[in-house]
A and B are shown apart, each in its own frame.
Chain A
Amino acid sequence: MDRETVEAGLTKFLKERTGHEPTFTALARLSGGAGRETWSFDADIGGEKLEGIFRCDPVAGVESSAARILEFQLLKAAMDAGAIVPEPLWDGDDTFPVKFFVMRRVPGETLGGRLIRGDQYSRARELIPGQLAASLARIHGISLARHPELGALLAPAEGESPALAEVRHYEQIFRESSPDPHPVFELAFRWLYQHMPNPDERVLVHGDYRLGNFLFGEDGVRGIIDWELAHWGDPMEDIGWLAVKSWRFGGRQPMAGVGSYEDFFRAYEAAGGAKVDPDRVRFWEIFGNLKWGVITITQTGNYLTGRNKTVEMAAIGRRTAETEWELLHLLEEADA
Chain B
Amino acid sequence: MQDRPTLDELLEAVAGYLRDDVMANTSGRTNFHGRVAMNVVEMVRREIASIEDHYAREWDGLDHLLGVSPMPPHLGAVREGLLERNRQLSELIRGGDADSGDRRKEVMTHLRRTVHDKLKVSNPALANESLS
Contacts and interface: CB of A to CB of B under 8 A. Distances in A.
Interface stretch (A74-82, A112-120, A184-192): A184-192
Taking each of A315, A324, A325, which has the highest tally of chain B beta carbons within 10 Å of its own beta carbon? A325
Contacts of A186: 90, 93-94
B37 interface: yes
A195 to B, nearest CB: 12
Contact of A187 (B43, B87, B111, B119): B111
A183 B40 contact: no
A332 B108 contact: yes
A183 B113 CA distance: 13
Given A183-B86, A322-B126, A190 B99 contact: yes
B89 A331 contact: no
Taking each of B98, B104, B115, which has the highest tally of chain A beta carbons within 10 Å of its own beta carbon? B115
A311 B40 contact: yes
A312 B93 CA distance: 32
Contacts of B132: none
B122 A183 contact: no
A319 B108 contact: no
Interface in A311-336: 311-312, 314-315, 318-319, 321-322, 324-325, 328-329, 331-332, 335
B130 A187 contact: no
A168 to B, nearest CB: 14
Size class of the contact patch on chain A? 20 to 34
Nearest to B41: A311
Contacts of A328: 108, 111-112, 115
Contacts of A312: 32-33, 36
A310 interface: yes
Contacts of B87: 181
Interface string B14-33: 00000000000000000011
A164 to B, nearest CB: 17
Contacts of A329: 130
Nearest to A185: B90
B123 to A, nearest CB: 6
A182 B118 CA distance: 13
A10 B41 CA distance: 46
Given A181-B86, A181-B87, A311 B115 contact: no
Nearest to B29: A31
Interface in B31-74: 32-33, 36-37, 39-40, 43
B108 A318 contact: no
A311 B130 CA distance: 27
Contacts of B104: 335
Contact of B90 (A183, A194, A311): A183
Contacts of B122: 318-319, 321-322
Contact of B33 (A180, A182, A311): A311
Contacts of B93: 183, 186-187, 190
Contact of B98 (A180, A187, A311): A187
B7 interface: no
B116 A325 contact: yes
Interface string B71-103: 000000000000100110110011010110000
7 shortest interchain CB distances as A-B pairs: A321-B118, A181-B86, A186-B93, A318-B122, A181-B90, A181-B87, A186-B90
